[in-house]
Structure 1
């Protein structure tokens, strides 16, 4: 019977599939680290800048963790197929702040900050949910458990921070603009997530030599998630804002990194 647990276990048990999985994850985290680092340098708000920098440092740490998991298996990162590059596929649709914009030494506008936070709120929702799933599957695993628990906790903090900062800006009179950008971002994200999920499943299917019936069932599951998110209202969870229980989640110094 197909399940998330059996699927992830199959990927974990194959060196080649695990290598691709961790390489995709590490590249996404590295891109997020660079983006947040640049934004922290360009943002004028001196209270917000350290939180963005902390966000970027966390993403860099996650990239190192995925690379460390590869190293422990005697593996090296591999080239990531373009059709699995979630971050760049979103950028090509005009979602978030373009890399070309971030490379310029120009201070970000207030709208730029809202675009950044809305993009982060949506994508961190996805990241937090995925890591909670991995924590359920591998949280007690002797090799992966500490890594997935650490990353999952960070993603929950990132999501809480996005909620809090967007609510602060909404209270300052930007509520309608924030909602509009969140909705646009969520609609693009669910399309991109479907495309990337199908691409990842296709590459994994080739590596693991899945029979056509199994590949078809998994693809149908991806389309089913998209249908719920696009037409069943699932996307709304990405556009609501709720004050988190944990406030100032990215305030203060980052916790000491204990994974190596």
Structure 2
């Protein structure tokens, strides 16, 4: 029977598909670590109190990249180049979502509006990350090979999402409410399109690696289009709501380590 769990299990059981899965994940997390590191270095004077939290966010993302690479090493596998059509971060940047890498490579301090844009973009993408990791946690939390990694990353993603909610609510109270809502809507609508595109590309690559029959590939593609249809019809709104999280000051301390993986 075809289910999300059976598809994930098939990908994890095969060395080549597992290698692609971990390579894509590691690349995206490492990119997020670099972006947050540069944002922390360029924080404007009025938001210096956030520097530690942004640094922690980046350190967590770097840690996740190391964890995925360590999972590859554990199976004696090397990373592979990430196909550009599966590069979620790059495709979002091309749509103008988030802060441009050209700006982050420079030395000019960011503005408070840049920080608002960073947090709004993160609110949307961290929603997706948290949901994906909760799904993996539901199925594989007790898996002897990846369970510990899944639990650790899932906890971090929940912290990142809580941090975005709390900081955006603070900034909304400081007069950025309309800007935040506009950026959240723009980011969410772009993200659901990019997520569909990347999901289809990843499933296409996995199908070729695993030798899926055409009917199975078509069924999975239909499922991806179905998710997009739901999100385009209104499901995207879950990505733009703001509420004070139960986890307050979620990134207020030092990053947890992953010595057992790295």
On whether the aligned pair clears a TM of 0.5, the verdict is yes
2:124–2:188 CA contact under 8 A, matched in 1: yes
Which consecutive unaligned segments of at least 5 residues does structure 1 have? none
2 CA distance for matches of 1:249 and 1:194? 30
2:20–2:82 CA contact under 8 A, matched in 1: yes
Residue 259 of structure 1 and its aligned partner are, at CA, apart by 2.8
4+ residue segments displaced more than 3 Å: none
Residue 137 of structure 1 and its aligned partner are, at CA, apart by 1.2
Q: How many residues align?
A: 259
Residue 46 of structure 1 and its aligned partner are, at CA, apart by 1.8
Match of 2:177 in 1: 175
Q: Secondary structure at the match of 2:49?
A: coil
**What is the TM-score with the length of structure 2 in the denominator?**
0.98
Match of 2:236 in 1: 235
Match of 2:33 in 1: 33
2 CA distance for matches of 1:36 and 1:259? 24
Give matches, 1:64-213, under 5 Å: 64-213=66-215
2 CA distance for matches of 1:103 and 1:119? 18
CA deviations over 1:234-254 (Å, ceiling 9, x no partner): 000000001000100000222
**What is the TM-score with the length of structure 1 in the denominator?**
0.99
2 CA distance for matches of 1:256 and 1:14? 28
2:67–2:258 CA contact under 8 A, matched in 1: no
2 CA distance for matches of 1:255 and 1:60? 11
Residue 256 of structure 1 and its aligned partner are, at CA, apart by 3.6
2 CA distance for matches of 1:254 and 1:39? 17
1:146–1:259 CA contact under 8 A, matched in 2: no
Which consecutive unaligned segments of at least 5 residues does structure 2 have? none
2:60–2:256 CA contact under 8 A, matched in 1: no
Q: Secondary structure at the match of 1:182?
A: helix
1:147–1:259 CA contact under 8 A, matched in 2: no
Match of 1:2 in 2: 2
Match of 1:245 in 2: 246
Q: Secondary structure at the match of 1:240?
A: coil
Q: Secondary structure at the match of 1:46?
A: helix
2 CA distance for matches of 1:259 and 1:156? 21
Give matches, 1:211-230, under 5 Å: 211-230=213-232
Structure of greater relative contact order (alpha carbons < 8 Å, 6+ residues apart): 2
Residue 47 of structure 1 and its aligned partner are, at CA, apart by 1.1
Say what the alpha-carbon RMSD is for the aligned residues: 0.7
2 CA distance for matches of 1:186 and 1:94? 12
2:86–2:201 CA contact under 8 A, matched in 1: yes
